[in-house]
Chains A and B, each alone.
Chain A
Amino acid sequence: MVSLIIRRAAMTLPILFGVTIIVFLLMMVLPGDPAQSFLAEDATAAERDRIRAELGLDRPLPIQYATWLADTVRADFGFSPFRRRSVSSLLAQAWWNTAVLAAASAVVGLAGGVLLGTAAALRRGRLLDKVISFVALTGLSVPSFFIAVVLLIVFSANLGWLPSAGTGMDQGFGTFLKHLVMPMIAGSLGTLAITARVTRASVIDTYGADFVQTLRAKGMSQSQLLGHVAKNAISPVLTTSGLQIGNLLGGAVLIETIFRWPGIGTLVYNAITSRDLLVVQGATLVIALTFVLMNLIVDVAQATIDPRLRQAVH
């Protein structure tokens, strides 16, 4: 088990390295000059050069990248001249906000999805199955930003039940929960839908497997049977979860913008638009790192549940 973790962890390093190169290259081809954002309309060439030197933009690309990498290894993500803050402090603030929202969305989406999926599988072909399948399809087929806007208008603007914006984290837990509801629903719907579908398919699959037939033939009760099925059906669900968490972390930019949730999605989006290279680099790396870690955890969890997979993972 330990060697599995080490092997997998070692494999993530080149992935993260590659991610940073991709981001760096992407930023280089973005139109627009980061230095320009600091300058008044009638700035002189000298002022421009001074800013470029200050930002390190006058150095050759590989050197810029190497410098960044060397600092990053020492956990120093550099300084954002746009925000006049260290990138690490920006990331810490945004990552925490996003992590809270993503965790809540993940819990609701995954737990809800597993429940609905299992229920649908157990009632296969009946009304409940059809209703759940339709709900899951809906979750997959409506843009999340549209759901967010509709929620906002119904529950905030018209009914006034839920706050429209902000995290409310500094106003007590009750207020925070109220603030959390709508972004969480809008954010978790996709996860809920996918998890429900995968769970349903996996449970149905397992029920058809030979060992279940054998157990059933041996006269095992339905609830005992369910335990065995769950253990075997969980693997694809876990795989899905790992992938979903990545999307919840980085894909929330639309929801974060609409609900004024100061998370890492908006941070990256604003950084891309203002060409704040170091923030884009740092944030992407942190998102990728979180994603890779979550999937490592998922792999290990899978291997723990199903020893057969230990061989297959590498």
Chain B
Amino acid sequence: MRRDTPSDVIDAKRRRRTLSAALALTLALLAAACGTGGGSPTDVGSGADDVGTTSETAGSEDADAAAEGSGGVLRIAMSAANVPRPTTPPTEGGEGLRFVGMTIYDGLTRFEVEQGEELPRPVPALAESWEVSEDELTWTFTLRQGVTYHDGSPFNAESVAFQFDRMKDPEFEFYDEFDAPRHGEQYRTFASWEVIDEYTISITTVEPNAWLDWSLAQIMLPSPAMIIEHGNENYAAYASGTGPFRMTRYVDGEIMELEANENYWRGRPKLDGLILYPQSEASSRTASLQSGEVDWAEVPAPDALASLEADGFQIFMTEYPHAIMLGFNQFREPFTDITLRQALNYAADREGLASILSDTGVPAGQYVPPFHPAHAPDVGFFYDPELAAELLAEAGYQPGELSLTLAYPLSGSGNMYPNPMVEKLQQDFAAIGVTLELSPYEWGAFSDIGLAGLEDPLYGEYDLLWRSPGAGMLPNYYGRDWICERAGGKAQQFGYCNTTVDELYYEAAATFDIDESFEILQQAEALITEDAAALFWMHDLNLRVMSPDVRGYVHPKSWYVDFMSVWIEE
């Protein structure tokens, strides 16, 4: 256990003051922007879209000092219930990719998460550059030379093709029948791939896919040597990639230890190592942070923030592409009626909810948050109970006549705090005379509803479906969340379908200028909002807490983070 030296304590106190000042300023701005500072509910939220554009500034303090130090082992309390298995892809969803995937491995591209200002876009990683053919179907990648996997074997085009075969070709000797289907989405448009020479590989897609470089940033490349030697079943114990950290110890269910890759092609990370603990209980993570057993805790309980802040811990929050929204079941009555969908959108007291969540989230008026390039400027919902009541009457319902059932998860990373949130919604709906019944599921079972969709007779009874998408984190998430027919051939999860949105989406997906592509998505975004396709509710602020000793961390607008610049001040 580490104890603070006196100078550290003084340092922590100084930092605490700057931090409090920064936080106070942030809060003041937030209060001014959305009027939570004591106004009556009616003058709140004159437009949800100009709310909450602030971001936590604590991280940027370190930017000046980025060159100052190095070293230390960063101990992280994850919110996952288990150590992500270091396969490609890792288990435990976004958290797995963040802590195990992108530390042990690299992709051909990577997200530019070393900055916290804007949506991270893909930049070259193991591929130094690429070209797209005239017909927009074939991408040719020039690979980085002189890179080796942690086990010493060389990285080259063959090793990239090996992973593609492993995930996409059921006839391949090392095809991984368990991991491949989990990874389907990233490979969906792959038609074929070809090793051109040792450091050149091409990928041909089934249709023009302007966002292939985004998908590639999520495709982790493991060492073929280790898979051939140990087989897919035992590979996890010998996980080996080209990433900034190499795995030195992995005990399933307990711990993973990683050490800095001295020969990393982006330079050696400042940290000497990482230790990952799975700790699904928020209060337990918070206690571990406070007692100095970990330096970094994912999503603590919001009500612990004040006390953590007073103790000098660094609190990071920023708007990022992530939304909590409730899908209206549009496969049947009553939500085939747009007036009713609008009514409920105006009934949700988002500012009140934000204060219940200690401002760890901001009101959402549409799918993506305001900083996002596809954010539609002139549309969006906000809290207006009188308008909600009017619209409800217009839709033909007297107070007390409408009773709805919501299916939601009890927990799960990226779901914020489902219980207080749905409890607040019950009160909001009750205020306009709508009853909300709750049907909670634990996360494993809930994912099944999302995958099956409300079209499935098993779940058809639900009127509202909790969704927590990485709203616009990748442009193809628009396809995942909004087009009429999902890639697997099933209808959109809760039955939203607007063929114009589909057309815009496919147009954007084939537009190779990314800014133009986002402009087209912006039109789709506006349509989706105007359709009141879902109850747009909250944007999570990606809450993360660290000890004062963690330096050089930049809080990105992404699920993923960059560990290269982080170090521990001893």
Question: Which A residues have a C-beta under 8 Å from some C-beta of B?
Answer: 30-33, 36-45, 47-48, 50-51, 54, 81, 83-85, 90, 93-94, 149, 152-153, 156-158, 160, 162-167, 257-260, 262, 266-267, 270, 273-275
Contacts and interface: CB of A to CB of B under 8 A. Distances in A.
Interface stretch (B177-185, B202-210, B376-384): B177-185
Interface stretch (B113-121, B287-295, B550-558): B287-295
Given A32-B448, A262-B253, 5 more contacts: A32-B445, A47-B180, A156-B293, A160-B290, A165-B277
Nearest to B278: A260
Contacts of B279: 165, 260
A38 B489 contact: no
A79 B443 CA distance: 23
A200 to B, nearest CB: 35
A38 B447 contact: no
B405 interface: no
A266 B181 CA distance: 27
26 contacts: A32-B444, A40-B181, A41-B486, A42-B184, A45-B488, A50-B181, A54-B177, A84-B87, A93-B253, A94-B253, A149-B283, A152-B283, A152-B284, A152-B287, A156-B287, A157-B287, A160-B291, A164-B287, A165-B284, A165-B293, A166-B277, A257-B280, A260-B277, A266-B253, A273-B445, A275-B445
B387 interface: no
B1 A163 contact: yes
Given A43-B184, A50-B181, A163 B488 contact: no
- Which 5 A-B pairs have CB atoms at the shortest separation, nearest pair first? A42-B487, A40-B184, A157-B290, A32-B445, A157-B287
Nearest to A167: B254
Contacts of A153: 283, 287
B184 A158 contact: no
B281 interface: yes
Interface of B: 1, 77, 81-82, 85, 87, 177-178, 180-185, 188, 233, 236, 252-255, 277-281, 283-284, 286-288, 290-293, 441-445, 447-448, 450-452, 458, 480, 486-489
Contacts of A30: 445
B191 to A, nearest CB: 16
A279 to B, nearest CB: 11
A258 B281 CA distance: 6
Contacts of A31: 441, 445, 448, 458
Contacts of A32: 444-445, 448
A33 B255 CA distance: 29
Contacts of A48: 181
A16 B288 CA distance: 40
Given A149-B283, A152-B284, A42 B178 contact: no
Contacts of A167: 254
A36 B284 contact: no
B465 to A, nearest CB: 14
Contacts of B450: 41
Contacts of B489: 44-45
A160 B291 CA distance: 5
A35 to B, nearest CB: 9
B560 to A, nearest CB: 18
A156 to B, nearest CB: 4
Contacts, number: 143
Given A50-B177, A258-B283, A42 B486 contact: yes
A162 B178 CA distance: 41
A44 B170 CA distance: 14
In this complex, the member of A30, A43, A267 whose beta carbon has the largest number of chain B beta carbons within 10 angstroms is A43
A26 to B, nearest CB: 14
B85 A84 contact: yes
A167 B184 CA distance: 37
A39 B291 contact: no
A21 to B, nearest CB: 23
Given A36-B448, A42-B488, A85-B252, A160 B292 contact: yes
A294 B178 CA distance: 39
A54 B85 CA distance: 20
A273 B442 contact: yes
A298 B286 CA distance: 41
Contacts of B233: 84
A164 B281 contact: no
A267 to B, nearest CB: 7
Contact of A157 (B185, B291, B445): B291
Contacts of A81: 178
Contacts of A262: 253-254
Contacts of B87: 84
Contacts of A40: 181-185
A175 B85 CA distance: 27
Contacts of B444: 32, 37, 273-275
